[in-house]
Chain A
Amino acid sequence: MELSFQTVMSQVMLGLNNGVFYAILSLGLAVIFGLLNIVNFAHGALYMLGAYVALLGFTSLGPLIGMPDFHLNYWAALIVAPLVVGAVGIVIEKTMLSRLYKFDHLYGLLLTFGLALIIQGVFTNFFNVSGDPYEAKPEILNGAVNLGFMMFPKYRLWVICISLLVCFGTWYVIERTKLGSFLRAGTENPELVKAFGVNVPLMITLTYGYGVALAAFAGVLAAPIYSVSPVMGSEMIITVFAVVVIGGMGSIMGSIITGLLLGMVEGFTKVVYAPASSTVIFLIMVVVLLVKPAGLFGRES
């Protein structure tokens, strides 16, 4: 394929569209990792769960509560799904993860891996692996905008904007507010923060809840673009892990920027040599590891 401006820009725009999903998911992982030192393998499954909350809220909730005409609409789902999944996260943290802090951090990884299998397995049993369409996309986001070089669907544009807002909002809260300073201090020295009268276990629980709520939010955003399927998370999560390794685990801004950039690099690769597009992130990871083992934005331990 020829390297016309139009082609390159179109693919890079689509790449950015994928990139915001990488960013929002790796941000959630980074927030969790920063405070809990756990790599949350269940992140992909919870992203999928978010999408299903939206889907089921739209199709099945009404009949279930005896109001067949009730449909949880898209805007409500954007708030409800993260809350539901956040609550699930809080339960997971309280009942399971919190028992493991005194052991090797690897057990946290293994536990969340098991949880990912459970959640994915349950949904595979009840839903079609090839996915169900989520048809609650609001009317106002239908159609496409002419960007000059391509027709870009309005919905995707909305996804890019709102995701960037959420990402940078999260960054602002953690890096620039008092609440965030407790969080960061808790990462450095939990004992000291406790001495200041901060309820550290509660902080940890809420952080995990927020991290997975971000994943659910991304899930709702993804639902109208991709079909909602039980495997949507497991396909995504490994790539996001690579993004996190490249960015350096625990760096908030690092995870956002790396996510966006890698999405665009992936899009660009599709123009140059399409078969490499699914590997390019992993190849970049190898190079980064050789040059800077702690990741682009990570600190050397």
Chain B
Amino acid sequence: MKNLFSKVALSVAVVALTSGMAGAEAKGVSDNVVKIGVLTDMSGVYSTLGGKGTQVGVEMAVKDFGGKVLGKPIQVIGADHQNKADIASAKAREWFDNEKVDMITGLLNSGCALAVQKLGGEKKKITMNTGAASTALTNEACTPYSIHYVYDTYALGKVTAEAVVPAGGKSWYFLTADYAFGHSLEANTSKFVTKLGGKILGSVRHPLSTADFSSYLLQAQSSGSQIIGLANAGGDTTNAIKQAREFGIDKKGQKLVGLLIFDTDIKSLGLNVAQGMQFTSGFYWDRDKATRDFAKRYYAIHKAMPTMDQAGAYSATMNYLKAIKAAGTDDPDAVMAKLKSMDVSDFFAVNGKIRADGRMVHDMYLMEVKKPAESKGEWDILKIVKTVPAADAFMPLSESTCSQVKK
């Protein structure tokens, strides 16, 4: 008993001591290591477009940076959030509290991203989101420590609607993934469709990773819309497109428009099925020499070309490390100040800038899937139809409801 008491007394003393010291943290690198956590969908419906490939991107960036910053080693750890917000948040909490993780990236799946970003705000830890799309991340849910790096539902909806509606796709019906991301994508796209003179006939919501879309497709079919907008991603989008063909929906004049499509989805559909589809992307590996050089190195490791999430994770990590170097510390406040003041310009982001709300704005691209005859290789699948300048693609800062924006 006596032993136990002395242990308690000792612990209390330790508390008193360390809490006294907490304020006097020296500049430099905390805990003598910069630790980057890749928390994303490693096994589920989004694992091909993100997953291990995102971690590969981060690890490449660390290696290219030299493996050290301010003389201290850089470590990368990864974990699977299984698309469950509770797992994501518990893992992030453990990383922040116990593993001394300084920054979390990846974060595919808006539900998980929102949970982790909120936690990061409370714990003063940086989150650099490359995977999730919801605009809530840079609006009501933004924090002083959150960055949304690659794309968002505003840009996807705007660029695609501006291509489809003027070309005659006036009436829309949505198939929407029933969680934060799908809702946000549907809402943003609807706004631009209506603004451009189109009409929304309705929508149906399906759970994440649905196997059988037949009944949803029939509902979309009986709405009689010209366009069936797919406000979902990954395996859900490809399943819906395949099954629409099975029921002969595309033959009856209705057109399917995927609002978020990744290179890996096109690969899984095949050019025969996907040819001619237009969608919005933040990155394509075959854009110019710099992207091709990166993609080649990436392919050598991952055996697939990088998606925008995976390439974005490289760029985000690289710029995070640069900011640490420039700030001379990994203190989150100083690093964020640097990130928001420097220009982001590399193979990934052209004319990139991180705004006060955490949105990294850069040029976006309207893509089109090549015809099988146009394709010269396994990964030669897309062409860039139009480059949309950063200022036109993303939500203007003045519209952001983020508390970090001074008005």
Chain A positions within 8 Å of B, measured between CB atoms, are 1-2, 4, 6-7, 10-11, 14, 17-18, 124, 128-131, 133, 144, 150-151, 153, 225-227, 229, 232, 235, 267, 270, 274-275, 277
Q: Can you report 8 A-B residue pairs in the complex whose CB atoms are below 8 A from each other?
A: A1-B222, A2-B222, A11-B215, A131-B211, A144-B247, A151-B247, A227-B235, A227-B239
Interface 9-residue window, one of B41-49, B298-306, B311-319: B41-49
Given known contacts A130-B234, A131-B211, A151-B247, is B44 in contact with A10 (CB within 8 Å)?
no
* In contact, A153 and B247 (Cβ under 8 angstroms): yes
Nearest CB in chain A: distance from B249 CB, A: 9
A131 cross-chain contacts in B, Cβ below 8 A: 209, 211, 235
The CA-CA distance from A268 to B15 in the complex, in Å, is: 63
B82 / chain A contacts, CB cutoff of 8 Å:
129
Determine if B223 is an interface residue (Cβ-Cβ < 8 Å). yes
Best-buried of B45, B211, B222, B239 by chain A (most CB within 10 Å):
B211
Complex Cα–Cα for A7 and B63 (A): 57
**A274–B222 CB distance below 8 A:** no
Q: How far is the CA of A277 from the CA of B204 in the complex (A)?
A: 13
A11-B215, A128-B47, A129-B44 known; A4-B239 Cβ under 8 A: no
- Give how many A-B residue pairs fall within 8 Å (CB-CB): 66
Q: Indicate whether B248 reaches chain A with its CB closer than 8 angstroms.
A: yes
Cβ A130 vs Cβ B209 within 8 A: yes
For residue B248, which residues in chain A have a CB less than 8 angstroms away from its CB?
144, 151
B218 within 8 Å of A (CB atoms) = yes
| Cβ–Cβ contact B43 & A129, under 8 A | yes
B11 proximal to A (CB < 8 A): no
**Which chain B residues lie closer than 8 Å to A226 at the CB level?**
211-212
Residues from chain B with a CB closer than 8 A to the CB of A7 are 218, 222
Q: Provided the pairs A6-B222, A129-B45, A151-B247 are in contact, do residues A267 and B209 lie with their beta carbons within 8 angstroms?
A: no
Tell me which residues from 181 to 211 in chain B have a Cβ below 8 Å from any Cβ of chain A: 202, 204-205, 209, 211
**Is the CB of B214 closer than 8 A to any CB of chain A?**
yes
In the complex, which residues of chain A have a beta carbon less than 8 angstroms from the beta carbon of B223? 1
- How far, in angstroms, from A18 to B212 measured CA to CA in the complex? 10
Q: Which residues of B contact A6 (CB under 8 A)?
A: 222
Interchain residue pairs A-B with the least CB separation, the first 7: A226-B211, A130-B45, A130-B235, A151-B248, A129-B44, A7-B222, A10-B218
Chain A residues, CB < 8 A from B246 = 144, 153
Contacts A128-B48, A133-B242 aside, 17 further interface pairs with beta carbons under 8 A come to: A1-B222, A11-B218, A14-B218, A128-B43, A129-B45, A129-B82, A130-B46, A130-B47, A130-B234, A131-B209, A131-B211, A150-B218, A150-B247, A153-B247, A226-B212, A232-B211, A235-B211
User: Measured between alpha carbons, how far is A17 from B242 in the docked complex, in Å?
Assistant: 18
Best-surrounded residue of A17, A124, A129, A235 (most CB of chain B within 10 A):
A129
Report how far A72 CA is from B143 CA in the complex, Å: 55
Whether A225 and B212, one on each chain, are in contact in the complex, defined by CB atoms closer than 8 angstroms, is yes
Closest CB-CB distance, A133 to chain B, in whole Å?
A: 8
Q: How far is the CB of B355 from chain A (nearest CB, A)?
A: 34
Give the contacting residue for A270; candidates B43, B48, B205, B219; CB below 8 A: B219
| CB-CB nearest in chain A for B204 | A274
B43 touches A274 (CB 8 A): no
Residues of B within 8 Å of A1, CB to CB, are 202, 219, 222-223
Contact digits for B235-261, partner A, Cβ 8 Å, 1 yes 0 no: 100010010001110000000000000
Contact assessment for A129 and B211 in the assembled complex, using a CB-CB cutoff below 8 Å: no
Using CB atoms, name the residue of chain B closest to A235. B211
Closest to A224 in B: B246
Residue of A nearest to B210 (CB): A226
Closest Cβ–Cβ distance, residue A121 to chain B (whole Å): 12
Distance of A150 Cα from B214 Cα, bound (Å): 12
Closest to B42 in A: A129
Please name all residues of chain B whose beta carbon is closer than 8 Å to the beta carbon of A225 when the two chains form the complex.
211-212
Q: A7-B218, A130-B235 are in contact. Are A229 and B43 (CB under 8 A)?
A: no
Check B209–A129 contact: CB distance below 8 A: yes
* List of A residues within 8 angstroms of B215 by Cβ: 11, 14, 267, 270, 277
Q: CB-nearest residue of chain A relative to B82?
A: A129
| Residues in B whose Cβ lies below 8 Å from that of A11 | 215, 218
A133 CA to B273 CA in the complex, in Å?
15
Residues of A within 8 Å of B235, CB to CB, are 130-131, 227
Q: Which residues on the B side are within 8 Å of A267 (C-beta)?
A: 215
A204 to B284, CA, bound (A): 60
A274 cross-chain contacts in B, Cβ below 8 A:
204, 219
- Nearest-neighbour CB distance to chain A for B326, whole angstroms, equals 40
Taking the closest CB of chain A, its distance from the CB of B253, in whole angstroms, is 13
Q: Is B211 in contact with A227, judged by CB distance below 8 angstroms?
A: yes
A229 touching B211 in the complex, CB below 8 Å, given contacts A129-B43, A151-B248: yes
Distance from B321 Cβ to chain A, minimum over Cβ atoms (Å): 32
Give A229's nearest chain B residue, CB to CB.
B211
Inter-chain CA distance A124–B44, complex, in Å, is 10
In this complex, what residue of B is CB-closest to A124?
B43
Chain B residues near A229: list those with CB within 8 A: 211
Contacts of A235 in B (CB 8 A): 211
Complex CA–CA separation, A133 to B269 (angstroms): 11
When distances are taken between beta carbons in the complex, the residues of chain B under 8 Å from A144 are: 246-248
Which A residues touch B43, using CB under 8 A? 124, 128-129
A150 to B246 alpha-carbon distance, docked (Å): 12
Residues in B with CB closer than 8 Å to A10 are: 218, 222
- A131 and B238 CA atoms in complex are apart in Å by 12
Closest chain-B Cβ to A153's Cβ sits at a distance in Å of 5
Complex interface: chain A residues within 8 A of B214 (CB): 14, 17
Instruction: Give Cα distance in the complex from A7 to B43, angstroms.
Output: 37
User: Could you say which residues of chain A place their CB within 8 Å of the CB of B204?
Assistant: 274
**Distance in Å: Cβ of B72 to nearest Cβ of chain A:** 36
Which chain A residues lie closer than 8 Å to B48 at the CB level?
Answer: 128
- The residue in A2, A131, A277 that gathers the most chain B C-beta atoms within 10 A of its C-beta is A131
